[in-house]
Amino acid sequence: MSNIIAIVGRPNVGKSTFFNRLVQRREAIVDSVSGVTRDRNYGKSEWNGKEFSVIDTGGYIKGSEDVFEAEIRRQVELAIDEADAIVFVVDVEEGITPMDAEVAKLLRKVTKPIIVAVNKVDNAKRENDALEFYNLGLGEYITFSAMSGSGTGELLDKVVEVLPELPPVDENPEELPRFAVVGRPNAGKSSFINALIGEDRFVVTDIAGTTRDAIDTKYNRFGFEFNLVDTAGIRRKAKVKEDLEFYSVMRSVRAIEHADVCILVIDATRGFEGQDQSIFWLAEKNRKGIVILVNKWDLVEKDTMTTVEYERKIREEIAPFTDVPILFVSALTKQRLLKALETAVHVYESRKNRIPTSKFNEVMLPIIERNPPPALKGKYVKIKYCMQLPTAIPQFVFFANLPQYVKDPYKRFLENKLREIYDFQGVPIDIYFRQK
């Protein structure tokens, strides 16, 4: 589990540039994962050995100029509720604008750590111009340039310094698996859990987001035992009536980071929308097991092709990670709910799959010999040995003479072979190449 940092501020002050810099710094350390660039509003970053999640509120703001102010105010309020620390980005070129003052007014009431980050400061004159930001009444500020990167080190030092200490994660292997039920508001997450538990443990109404908090339910029926985490609309403030994309993503972050398997509930009548996709990539990026449930299937007009067609559309959206179970269910009629649970348990088990090294080499090396990586600049890549890493999630390393020459298409080829031979359905896989 990691802390959450929200980057707030009015449009065009450089929030997204700063966000990209943070997330890419992290992705330059670990091998970059294909398919994660589509969701640019959430990422993981790390500084001085401390890992944290970053949310760029800017990417979620849609609407014309007049909608902006209300929208920004609402997002700042959400960030204040959900984040552990807030970076308030302002622009030295424009000085304090009325909208900055408005955001500062909201932030002054908050007890959480707030860092004022003055962007576009890349010379001494601008250093002086930045003094005006003391007038925001939020104390010290830090100057930096998101574009050139100067000053971001000091800014990050400050960020990790103010982050609260997290309670140590209990690595007890006896702990029950945690299944988080996630999805956009009103997709039927609470109804799904109520139908499983057989009692109205959660209040279910037609108003999106009536669940007040993430509730853990110890589930023990039909021979399954695990914790179910409901994130339905979690602690939605009365003020926030709108069905905000930012809201459900922000709320899903913690639940996903803390889960083993994510059960993504989508509303069959609405399709696999942008928000569902954001939550899907969030789970994939965190390397969690994933099961997709198409709920309210009883409300959809059927013909013989419907499920096939519907499933194909979802798989197109989640490519290249298409090896994910998709089930059509109805929480109302309890159709296929037990199957959904069995599938989640199966994904959990697959995530713990361990392949002995000798067996793994016996299987993979002949495949590699028949289909070696393409030569680059007349040089041939030879892979001599491979193994599964002793990590909590499936990660494989292949030792080669020229690892830097192995490109993404070949990694995908190996991943597809792994999925054909071994059962990793619903589980993201990492493949690394190292110098032998």
Q: Is 120 annotated as a binding residue?
A: yes
State the residue for tokens 């057989």. Answer: 198
User: What is the biggest distance separating any 2 CA atoms in the chain, rounded to whole angstroms?
Assistant: 70
Provide the strand spans (E) within 245-377.
261-267, 289-295, 326-328
Tell whether residue 122 is among the known ligand binding residues: yes
- Flag whether 230 is marked binding: yes
Residue 231 in marked binding region: yes
| Element spanning 268, H or E | none
> What CA–CA distance (Å, rounded) separates 207 from 220?
29
User: Does 227 belong to an annotated binding site?
Assistant: no
Q: Is 15 annotated as a binding-site member?
A: yes
> Which residue has 């993201």 as its token pair?
428
Q: Is 153 annotated as a binding residue?
A: no
74 labeled binding residue: no
- 232 in a known ligand binding site: yes
Residue 56 assigned as binding residue:
yes
Q: Strands 50-56, 261-267: parallel, antiparallel or unpaired by DSSP?
A: unpaired
Q: Is 58 annotated as a binding residue?
A: yes
Q: Is 80 one of the annotated binding-site residues?
A: no
| Helix-, strand-, coil-residue percentages of the chain, each rounded to 5 | 40, 20, 40
| Annotated binding residue 260 | no
Which residue shows structure tokens 């330059």?
28
Report the alpha-carbon distance of residue 194 to residue 188 in Å, rounded. 10
**Structure tokens given for 170:** 């209990």
Q: Which one, of 105, 53, 107, lies nearest residue 84 by Cα?
A: 53
Q: Is 377 annotated as a binding residue?
A: no
206 a known binding residue?
no
Rounded to 5 degrees, what angle do the CA atoms 287, 249, 68 make?
145
String of b and e for 256-271 (b: at least 16 CB within 10 Å)? Answer: bbbbbbbbbbbbbeee
User: Does residue 129 have a known ligand-binding role?
Assistant: no
Whether residue 422 is annotated as binding a ligand: the answer is: no
Residue 14 annotated as binding site: yes
Residue 341 backbone phi and psi in degrees, to 5: -65, -45
Q: Is 43 annotated as a binding residue?
A: no
Check the annotation: does 63 bind a ligand: no
Q: Is 119 annotated as a binding residue?
A: yes
H helix or E strand, kind and range, residue 136: none
347 is in an annotated binding site: no
> 16 labelled as ligand-binding?
yes
189 is in an annotated binding site: yes
User: What is the token pair recorded at 142?
Assistant: 């830090």
The C-alpha atoms of residue 243 and residue 372 are separated, in whole angstroms, by: 50
12 is in an annotated binding site: yes
Classify residue 432 by its DSSP letter.
E
Residue 233 counted as an annotated binding residue:
yes
Binding residues: 9-16, 56-60, 119-122, 183-190, 230-234, 295-298
Binding residues for GTP: 9-16, 56-60, 119-122, 183-190, 230-234, 295-298
